[in-house]
Structure 1
Amino acid sequence: MNLKHASYIMAILEAGSITAAAKKLLISQPSLSQTVKAVEDELGLLIFDRHAKRLTLTYAGQRYVESMREIMTAERNLLSEIAEMKNDHRATLRIGISAQRSISLLPQILPAFLARYPLVTVELKELPSVRLEELLSKGGCDVAFITTASKQNDLEYRLLENEQIVLMASKQTAISRRIGQGTEIELSEAREENFVNLTSGHSVRTIQNHLAQLCQFEPRVLLELFNMEAAKLVTAQLNAVMVCPYGYIQGDTRVETLTKCYPLRCHGFERHFYFCYRKKLRLSSYMRDLFDIARSKCQYHTM
């Protein structure tokens, strides 16, 4: 089995077509098509279903990709162990992180990490946490900083930071005039307010949906935004409320002076911040140190 061929097959799967993958890999489309044919000839079976609009794997293709990911992980583990034996830390570390977290965390951890490991090349992949979990599972990055409420069985989650979920309410709202700052509440206390929502798929939105269902009401949505930073700034200026981790509010004078915050009774629906990697990945010394540096910079944000 050819590992380079396997990496090309995975690139096609991620891109959705041979043409798109060829552009990303900077090779010709006919050359990439020949690679697919070579793999299929070796297996004696088709690996892609070419009848769908977007290329999908056949059962044989799924087994091939699963097996090759295991082989590639084993190879990476071996090379990492050999490099440590030689005390040689020349490597490329692919780190996944959300755009929101990268703003606050990367300036705190990368200078210390790169000073300790100047021969490690860092490649950043900025994606929403749910996409990062998928990318990790597929071997698209080595480690990731993920904020999530759920966990995948094939990934390891090492806790960096607990999060407290709050309702942030503009001082223009009725709830802010009715209830004192810092009071723990049920989400139903805001049933008459306008909500600024994060888009579906965001873990905070998932928690909000669970709590609203538990409290048996449908939030009245004023706006829906993808970016949490934009959502909190808009909420502070409007007659509106927003479900948000307290850590994203604490110390931000742009919103603290215009809002009140109320810890939410989450009834087990929580999310936390983790350092994640595939369970079968051997953590190198520089990966372990990255975790230690990040953990030293994280803290529990609570009211």
Structure 2
Amino acid sequence: MNVKDYEYIVEIARQKSLSEAANRLCITQSALTKFLQRVEAQLGTPLFNRIGKRFVLTAIGQMYVNKGLEIMRLDQEMEDELAKMRSDGADAIRLGYSMGQTSFIMNHLLPAFYKRQSAMSVSLKEDSSTGLIRDVEDGKLDICLAYAREEKPGLSYFPLASSGMALAVPKHSPLMRKAVSRPDFPHPVLEDRSWMDEPYIRLASFTQSGRIAQEYFIQIGRYPKSRIYVENVRSAMSAVENRLGNCILAELPHAIHKVEYLSLPDLRITKQRTCLITRKGSQPQEAMKLLIHLAQTLYQQPEKS
């Protein structure tokens, strides 16, 4: 039987009437009657009890319809996936990027890529670094732009930058006036912990930045006043930009959010490496090599204001 056969039986069950089902299926009632008789003969059992003009499912008929609905659902899922693959292109690059890197991907990397590879398709996925790296390992992504604190066997790493951890604060925050310049820090330094009495945006610990911030608070034995909990860097940056609180996170050189960074003297944690990551042993197509080259070239370029 094909999927269309199941659709016919399911429609009869829904309408409880051959004539109504035939109308909805746009076939004649006689054709639908012959079809049902043929199916029941093949199965050796009736699927419906005839009660007057009503068709009511038997126990076997109910099981048949349940399985038919499942087959129809799987068929639709397959059609949807095939349509997506046709839309993306069979040779599309499956690129993942960590939340917070949207500006670099959309404003810099892809425009430069399409100047050289106008016919190439790219399928994008945004997720946490942990999720992206897992997807590369599982073959669900070809390449990802993510933070990497350690290298995993079976993966190749193409470094783009090392990102320090800092306290992100809104533009013109009063904390900027409390900070002092020190030659051994990349940003003005807050030498006391008065910032911990201000509202804080807590970033989920399953993110790299959130986990490092959590380790820092455990190390100093103190926690800030959390106002909002968010699950990704993009939301954290947006909350800071809108003056809802401050947040410890990795610096993003191409972030579009209007925030400023402050260094914390006791936040001496190893910098996070921002890398492009692929599976070892895979032979990257020319388009993938171009993508890697462009990312390595563009990532360190300063954002134009």
CA contact (8 A) 1:95 1:144 kept: yes
Give matches, 1:67-86, under 5 Å: none
Q: 2:79 aligns with which of 15, 19, 26?
A: 26
Partner of 2:116 in structure 1? 116
Deviation for aligned residue 1:21: 6.8
Deviation for aligned residue 1:130: 1.4
Name the Cα RMSD after superposition: 3.6
Q: Tell me which amino acid in the other structure corresponds to 1:245.
A: A
Per the normalisation by structure 2, the TM-score is 0.60
Q: Tell me which amino acid in the other structure corresponds to 1:277.
A: T
Alignment CA distance shift 1:249-1:93 (3 Å): closer
Q: Percent identity?
A: 18
Q: Secondary structure at 1:209's aligned position in 2? A: helix
Q: Does 1:218 align with 2:223?
A: yes
Deviation for aligned residue 1:186: 7.5
Deviation for aligned residue 1:162: 1.6
Q: Does 1:137 align with 2:137?
A: yes
Q: Distance in 1 between matches of 2:263 and 2:220?
A: 16
Alignment CA distance shift 1:180-1:213 (3 Å): same
Q: Tell me which amino acid in the other structure corresponds to 1:222.
A: R
Q: Does 1:201 align with 2:202?
A: no
Q: Secondary structure at 1:282's aligned position in 2? A: coil
Partner of 2:290 in structure 1? 289
Structure 2 unaligned residues grouped into runs of 5+: 1-69, 81-89, 182-186
Deviation for aligned residue 1:20: 8.1
CA contact (8 A) 1:188 1:217 kept: no
CA contact (8 A) 1:147 1:274 kept: yes
Q: 2:251 aligns with which of 240, 246, 256?
A: 246
Deviation for aligned residue 1:23: 5.0
Per-residue CA deviations over 1:147-174 (Å, capped at 9, x if unaligned) read: 2334432322110122122112358977
Partner of 1:255 in structure 2? 259
Alignment CA distance shift 1:297-1:197 (3 Å): same
CA contact (8 A) 1:188 1:212 kept: no
Per-residue CA deviations over 1:214-264 (Å, capped at 9, x if unaligned) read: 112233211112343442343344473211333368775x434xxx62256
Structure 1 unaligned residues grouped into runs of 5+: 1-16, 28-89
Per-residue CA deviations over 1:38-59 (Å, capped at 9, x if unaligned) read: xxxxxxxxxxxxxxxxxxxxxx
Deviation for aligned residue 1:269: 3.7
Q: Distance in 1 between matches of 2:103 and 2:255?
A: 15
Partner of 2:273 in structure 1? 272
Per the normalisation by structure 1, the TM-score is 0.60
Q: Tell me which amino acid in the other structure corresponds to 2:78.
A: L
CA contact (8 A) 2:179 2:262 kept: no
Partner of 2:7 in structure 1? none
Q: Distance in 2 between matches of 1:148 and 1:213?
A: 22
CA contact (8 A) 2:93 2:121 kept: yes
Alignment CA distance shift 1:123-1:235 (3 Å): closer
Q: Secondary structure at 1:200's aligned position in 2? A: coil
Q: Secondary structure at 2:121's aligned position in 1? A: strand
Deviation for aligned residue 1:175: 4.9
Partner of 2:48 in structure 1? none
Per-residue CA deviations over 1:108-127 (Å, capped at 9, x if unaligned) read: 22233233234432222222
Q: Distance in 2 between matches of 1:195 and 1:276?
A: 32
Q: Distance in 1 between matches of 2:75 and 2:127?
A: 22
Deviation for aligned residue 1:104: 2.5
CA contact (8 A) 1:136 1:277 kept: yes
Q: Distance in 1 between matches of 2:117 and 2:243?
A: 46
More displaced stretch, 181-190 vs 142-151: 181-190
For these two proteins, the number of residue pairs brought into alignment is: 220
CA contact (8 A) 2:168 2:259 kept: no
